[in-house]
Structure 1
């Protein structure tokens, strides 16, 4: 019995030893995996030459280069509009007629007044020459005659304004006013009878963010799209860059009234682009989504944007050497693309750089949150 018990205990001890060894081995394996999991995964990219271009994106509105609002210099009712929307007109063509009855009457009265003033002047001049009238009488007659002459010229001018002509070659944009509309003259808010535009030449008036305006230059090429023609790309050229922002926020006279709103607003500058539209597809007021090509190189030494890192000394990349060691190397950058950046100085072709994205640590707090940001 003693031998049987001894064998039994030996088996138990052996099983315990095996279990302990398995536990220790498993723990070591788990600990090793945990340590490996804590190590950051290093992703690398090779420094290489590629074609690169830099783009500034903007949104703008298509407008004709030349357009006019046709209005009247006199106040009168529109008698007849002789053109309609989309009609082609030429400079000097009659496009509308105003009711001129009142002005015809004014002209007839002015002619009668002038004739009467001429008769009085001739008689006064005769009497003055024979000594029967004074120089003052002659001057008064002369004044009345000159005034009547001016009144007639004014009446004739007003009557001629009842014929509305096109000031330029172009196309009637939008519906003109209807017959019977009262056309009111004025410098601030006159009645617009019709609008005429030269649609052979168009421009885009785009707004560019202040962070991008420094790289935009006159003469740069651009492409753009409009919603009306899905998948079609048009071309344009930068022709003008405004020297003031679109809100004129720098103006001292405006700063006091708009300082609170402009301080938080994004500053935009107006950029004008000449449009190529040989097919005549584009229409005024279409929204254009513009990409201005600010730089272009067929062969630029480049790395992914994720390789760039910065500190107080500047911009650097982490170079992975052949032996696995690393080096923080400061670089000079050039063209920035959507995914890559040009390296002007600091790297050589085929070197490897670290492109691992480092996540910033986050902290939690039990403090009450602040008010929502509007």
Structure 2
């Protein structure tokens, strides 16, 4: 009986020890990546719309019924070429009426001049008769009044003639406007009217056609966030893609940064214009472009994985900077420092320090570094004690121990 009790006690002790051993948390494991040397390209991402550099909206200055259309979508046009015709019947009648008014005004002017000549002769005759004492002074005064009235009549007739000539010119101009012509060389990208449609130009000029002057040269109007606009400069190179060609990258150049802010839901952006070469005419107006503006590029620098800057250990000892860390000067390959390197080192000292971790004895140890530009995946390592080939921690992986044992059970009798 004592042996059975001893065996039972031993089994209970072993079961308890195994249970507490299995309940211990597993030791954390860490994933590391190596620091490499290479190039880093810093860029600003934005979204924009492709547009023609010059787009002209063609309208009409006269009202009427559209009688003819000479062009359609995608039609190439030349400057001065007729593209539509408004029914000129009413406008032609207005020209004839204005012409009649001009002829009537000219006749009235001739009549007024005849009246003036007659009044002048009467005035001269009465002056001579007054000197001879044949007529009274009142007759001379009446002749003078008639002469002055005749002069005023001539002036009024001349003004009426000028007015009617102006009306005639306006009617002729309106008749000319009935033929709508292209103002530029280009391609018709939109048409808003059909034959038989009535257009009214009473209050504002209606848009009939939209003509893109030159689709071989286009531009992208992008919206750059206010936090990134300081990095974008005129002349920088840009690449972009469109949904129509998802596997192809197109090139462009920043040509304008507009100072007018665009505020949408409290988000401030600035329009940045990127010039695009479209000689093959594959890009079309209105396409959405995903743009990446290349703001800075460096060759032969140490590339620190961006994930290392985001890593923070969940377990481990207190994070304190290690003593005696020498500043990194970029001479990890063994080259001597010159004046340029010393200047770079002084600039690096002004940069804010960041913390990364390396493994020492399977435990993460903090190391302080200074960083430069970033491409999203890698960051330029400017200073610190790390060198090419060192491995930094980017992720903590906890592996649970697998066991088929359940909770300890007491002995069965």
Check 1:358–1:147 CA distance in 2 against 1; reply closer, same or farther (3 A cut).
farther
SS of 2:57's partner is strand
**Per-residue Cα deviation, 1:222-258 (whole angstroms, up to 9, x for no partner):** 22222223422222222222212224x7xxxxxxxxx
1:24, 1:185 → 2: CA distance? 96
Equivalent residue, structure 2, for 1:99: 87
User: Hey, what does 1:341 align to over in structure 2?
Assistant: 379
Alignment partner of 1:204 is 2:220:
yes
Deviates most, 120-129 or 275-284: 120-129
CA shift, 1:354, in A, is 3.2
* Greater mean deviation of Cα atoms: 302-311 or 79-88: 302-311
Shift, 1:192, TM fit: 2.0
Match of 2:316 in 1: none
Range with greater deviation from structure 2 (343-352 or 152-161): 343-352
* Structure 1 residues 234 and 320: alpha-carbon distance in aligned structure 2, compared to 1, 3 A threshold: closer
Q: CA deviation at 1:146?
A: 1.1
Q: CA RMSD in A?
A: 3.1
Matches within 5 A, 1:46-125: 46-125=34-113
User: Which of these residues, 223, 230, 234, is aligned with residue 214 of structure 1?
Assistant: 230
What is the DSSP-based 3-state SS (H/G/I as helix, E as strand, rest coil) of the residue aligned with 1:56? Answer: strand
Matched, 1:173 2:174: no
Q: Any stretches of 5+ residues in structure 2 without a counterpart?
A: 121-145, 313-318, 320-350, 399-413
Per-residue CA shift, 1:314-348, capped at 9, x if unaligned?
54223537777876444332222222111222344
- 8 Å contact kept, 1:307–1:354: yes
Aligned partner of 1:143 among 152, 159, 164: 159
Aligned-pair distance for 1:28?
7.4
| CA-CA distance at 1:71 after TM superposition | 0.8
The CA deviation string for residues 116-165 of structure 1, in whole angstroms up to 9 with x for no partner, is 21122133234334525423222211211111111111111111111111
What is the distance in 1 between the residues matched to 2:396 and 2:147?
A: 107
Per the alignment, do residues 176 and 14 of structure 1 end up closer, same or farther by CA in structure 2, a change over 3 Å counting?
closer
Distance in 2, matches of 1:234 and 1:356, equals 36
| 1:281 shift after superposition | 0.8
Counterpart in 2 of 1:291? 292
Is contact 2:235–2:253 with CA below 8 Å preserved after alignment?
yes
Aligned-pair CA distance for 1:220: 1.9
Aligned counterpart, 1:353 = 392
Paired residues of 1:85 and 1:173 also in contact (CA < 8 A): yes
TM-score (normalizing by structure 1)? 0.77
Larger radius of gyration: 2
Residue 27 of structure 1 deviates from its aligned partner by: 6.2
Work out which of the residue numbers 201, 208, 223 in structure 2 matches 1:185. 201
CA contact (8 A) 2:29 2:396 kept: no
Among 228, 234, 252, the residue aligned to 2:244: 228
Pairwise CA distance, 1:187? 5.9
Query: CA separation in 1, counterparts of 2:16 and 2:174?
Result: 110
C-alpha spacing 1:358/1:137, structure 2 compared with 1 (3 Å): farther
Quick one: distance in 2 between partners of 1:356 and 1:280? Answer: 47
TM-score, structure 2 as length reference = 0.71
1:179 deviation in Å? 1.3
Structure 1: distance between partners of 2:169 and 2:396: 82
